[in-house]
Amino acid sequence: MGIKSLSQLNLQNAKVILRCDFNVPIKDGVIGDAGRIVASLSTIKKLLAANCSVVIIAHLGRPKGEVKPELSLAPIAKKLGELLNQEVLFSPEITGISDKARALKSGQILLLENIRFLSSETSKEESERMKLANELSTYGDIYIGDGFGAVHRKHASVYELAKLLPHAAGDLISGEVAVLEQLTKNPSRPYGVVLGGAKVSDKIGVISNFLDKANLIAIGGGMVFTFLAAQGKEIGKSLVENDLIDTVKELMIRAEKLGVKFLLPIDIVVASEFSADSLPTTVDSDQIPSDQMGLDIGPKSAENFALEIKLCKTVFWNGPMGVFEFTNFSYGTKVIAQALTQVDGMAVVGGGDSAAAVRKLGFADKDFGYISTGGGASLEYLEGKELPGLIALS
């Protein structure tokens, strides 16, 4: 799918509408990880260099069409201004500001309030989304899509709006797609995939698709207990999706038939409660006590995974190995992150929680081949799904 890039448009002195993904962790107005804001700078700087005026549309969280002050983008306007070293104007109104948007001078940036405060942005009704897109399209003459984290959504500002104006993908989306193509078309081998996170249900499609492509699949995180349960092991109070046990059994049989190395943890760090203060103990993965829950892969498993990862030429990792937010249960994730920094080839950290985890654990973005900004979008791309936001930019 040929996506238009910035260089294919004449941007000189243009009035640009830019869709970004500023879905960052924010608490009491303080931004926890500004990774996604930083990721948008390349495109914004190019637009400023071409003397454009820029109206930015972005989302934060899932306010479901209601105004939620704690999900306001006002702190993000401030942060973006600091990063660019210039004022970023902020509009609490999202609609009815055509005159204000059109009055922007070259080099000025206006960030609109959280687009998801409007129910029409995410509406299932195409006519409602179209009405909003028509209104937004009056704010500029060119549309640049650069919110990779939202391209798997058929939302007004991602899908319909792109079709109404001359359009292109920003540097972030172009970069993400290039990396994902490399992971799906002809990756250097051995090719390893490390998957974690809480739920198997989120990753079934990806695992299934990767069985035909990868040489190694390693599973950690909360989803591992559905696999252990499928092997008939006692998992205590650990997270499990019982309705997926049969599916998981089929995946493991398929892996064996295809000769894919399928790694599950041999030891687990358990505790009696899901809490930062819980005391950790390490047990074999078939010896989890009935009153305990698994909160991280064990140290032997982490080392085992790390050894295999370092032998790979291409690695894709999505999802932490345990509850990395709690120091006592962050070791597995840290060992995996460390191994990815030592891959002789391409190592991709696949968005969302994994990106937040590596930064929280003290790694720098440059330590990895690539850090994706879109967890769900990356996974759907790697599942082989068509993404509406990318189709609209073709």
Helix, strand, or coil (residue 219): strand
Measured distance CA(112)–CA(392) in Å, rounded: 22
212 marked as part of a ligand binding site: no
Ligand-binding site membership of 153 (annotated): yes
| Beta carbons of 162 and 393 less than 8 angstroms apart | yes
Instruction: Reply yes or no on whether 199 is catalytic.
Output: yes
Q: Is 381 within 8 Å of 150 (Cβ atoms)?
A: no
Helix (H, G, I), strand (E, B) or coil at 159: helix
Q: Does the annotation list 21 as a binding residue?
A: yes
Return the percent helix, strand and coil in the chain, to nearest 5: 40, 15, 40
62 carries a ligand binding annotation: yes
| Residue 352: active-site member | yes
354 is in an annotated binding site: yes
Please give the full DSSP string across 1-65, using - where no structure is assigned: ----BGGGS--TT-EEEEE------EETTEES--HHHHHTHHHHHHHHHTT-EEEEE---S--TT
Best CA proximity match to 252, nearest among 294, 287, 208: 208
Is 19 annotated as a binding-site member?
no
Q: What number of other Cβ atoms are within 10 A of residue 166's Cβ? A: 14
Tell whether residue 36 is among the known ligand binding residues: yes
Instruction: Choose the catalytic residue: 350, 352, 374, 389.
Output: 352
89 is in an annotated binding site: no
Residue 362 appears among annotated catalytic residues: no
Helices 171-184 & 41-49 angle (0-180, nearest 10): 130
For helices 74-84 and 41-49, give the axis angle rounded to 10 degrees: 60
Please check if 129 is assigned to a binding site. Answer: no
Distance CA 301, CA 265 (A): 5
Active-site annotation holder among 36, 79, 213, 360: 36
The annotation status of 220 as a binding-site residue, yes or no, is no
Q: Is 353 labelled as part of a ligand binding site?
A: yes
Instruction: Say whether 146 counts as a known binding-site residue.
Output: no
Q: Does the active-site annotation cover 376?
A: yes
Catalytic residue chosen out of the listed positions 68, 131, 189, 199: 199
Can the peptide bond before residue 92 be classed as cis, meaning omega within 30 degrees of 0?
A: no
Q: Could you give the CA distance from residue 165 to residue 185 in angstroms, rounded to a whole number?
A: 31
Catalytically active residues are 36, 199, 352, 376
Name the binding residues for (2R)-3-phosphoglycerate: 36, 116, 153
Binding-site annotation: residue ranges: 21-23, 36, 59-62, 116, 153, 203, 294, 325, 351-354
Binding-site residues from annotation for ATP: 203, 294, 325, 351-354
